[in-house]
Amino acid sequence: MCDPVSIAIAVGSSVAQYAGQRKQARAQARYQAQAAAAERQRFLQEQTSLRMRQAQEQEAVGRELEQVSRKSQAALARARVSAGEAGVAGASVQALMDDYMRQEAGYRSALARQQELGAVGTGMQLEQAGFATQQRQIGINQPINRPNPLAIALQGIQTGMSMHRTGLDIKRMTTPSSTPTTPTVQ
């Protein structure tokens, strides 16, 4: 028969162990939820920052294009006036006008290409940020060790049985033997 004290200690130990593991699992789940939410917020801020930078770059290119257009129109007007005052007309004036327009078109093309490359770069940065966030989320959301009531109960039973066996061993060592010992003859 099992010792009631051993059983009580084993049951109490198992219940305490289960409660502790359950509390720890809940705390880990709360931590993971908070960390995942913080990572989502960080990612959204990074996306916003990248998009704002892209918009600022596009705005700057737009202003630069506007300036180029004004300067080109002013240069063309000056060239017409100068040619008119000098009494020059014809193919040479048209060649000068075409050269100004070619330079403006080349500059506009370079700015448009710069804008395209900037958009591609921003897209790649956003994609990289998405991958990085995905990896962080995987790191945050690791499996949580949940308590297993059956395993804890079996461990409690094993502990109780071990305590009972130890108690029996101690009792046997402290109880005098009932068999008489006979002296040995030499």
Written as six digits, the tokens of 148 are 């297993």
Of 13, 20, 5, the C-alpha closest to 155 is 13
* Residue 145: pLDDT over 50: yes
Distance CA 70, CA 65 (A): 9
pLDDT at 183: 58
Q: What is the pLDDT of residue 95?
A: 84
pLDDT tens digits, one per residue of 52-94: 999 999 999 999 989 988 988 888 888 888 887 877 777 877 8
Give the model's pLDDT for residue 6.
Answer: 67
pLDDT of residue 181: 57
| CB atoms near residue 14 (< 10 Å) | 20
Confidence of residue 3 (pLDDT cuts 50, 70, 90): low
Q: In the predicted model, is pLDDT for residue 2 greater than 60?
A: no
| Mean pLDDT confidence for 109-135 | 93
138 pLDDT band, cuts 50/70/90, is very high
| Residue-level pLDDT at 173 | 85
Give the per-residue pLDDT at 178.
57
The pTM score is 0.62
* 182 vs 11, higher pLDDT: 11
Q: What share of the chain has pLDDT > 70, as a percent?
A: 91
177 has a pLDDT exceeding 80: no
Contact 140, 39 (CB under 8 A): yes
pLDDT at 1: 46
Q: How would DSSP label each residue in 46-75?
A: HHHHHHHHHHHHHHHHHHHHHHHHHHHHHH
More confident residue, 9 or 110: 110
